[in-house]
């Protein structure tokens, strides 16, 4: 099989493969699943071809493997840190919204779940409420009651 890409498209593919591999590894870690060797082989193969084609920001490691340059790796890690922070807040909104929904779930809500295998629309309102709260106030008003 032959895939023809411009250098810019190959650069974008490299970023997607690297970022996707990171997200996939985190998911496998969370699920306590082993990391597949195939995903590393794919990235290594694409990096090697990019190096041969002279794509910018690809370098050789001391061991002779094609890798992202230090500058590009730093940029990707900063992007991943931003993603991780955003995902944290999204997850917190969802968990708090679901907690509130479950505390106030009605028989009609349960009937909707049983009939449609989906959450009632009102659960989204709870997510939005937390999203707006965090956007406006951050965690300044967050209190832990025990």
pLDDT confidence of residue 102: 94
pLDDT confidence of residue 108: 93
pLDDT confidence of residue 20: 87
Phi, psi at 79, each rounded to 5°: -60, -40
Residues 6+ apart with CB under 8 A from 146: none
pLDDT confidence of residue 36: 64
pLDDT confidence of residue 71: 93
pLDDT confidence of residue 8: 87
In this prediction, the residues of the chain whose per-residue pLDDT falls under 50 are: none
Is 10:50 a contact under the CB 8 Å cutoff? Answer: yes
pLDDT confidence of residue 41: 83
What angle separates helix 70-103 from helix 122-137, to the nearest 10 degrees?
130
């Amino acid at each position: 099989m032959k895939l023809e890409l411009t250098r810019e498209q190959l650069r974008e593919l490299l970023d997607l493969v690297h970022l996707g591999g990171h997200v996939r590894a985190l998911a496998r870690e969370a699920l306590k699943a082993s990391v597949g060797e195939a995903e590393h082989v794919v990235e290594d193969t694409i990096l090697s071809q990019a190096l041969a084609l002279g794509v910018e920001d690809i370098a050789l490691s001391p061991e002779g493997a094609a890798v992202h340059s230090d500058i590009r790796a730093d940029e990707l890690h900063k992007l991943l840190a931003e993603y991780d922070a955003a995902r944290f807040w999204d997850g917190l909104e969802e968990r708090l919204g679901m907690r509130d929904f479950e505390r106030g779930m009605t028989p009609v809500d349960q009937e909707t779940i049983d009939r449609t295998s989906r959450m009632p629309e009102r659960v989204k309102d709870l997510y939005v409420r937390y999203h707006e709260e965090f956007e406006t106030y951050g965690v300044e008003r967050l209190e832990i009651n025990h």
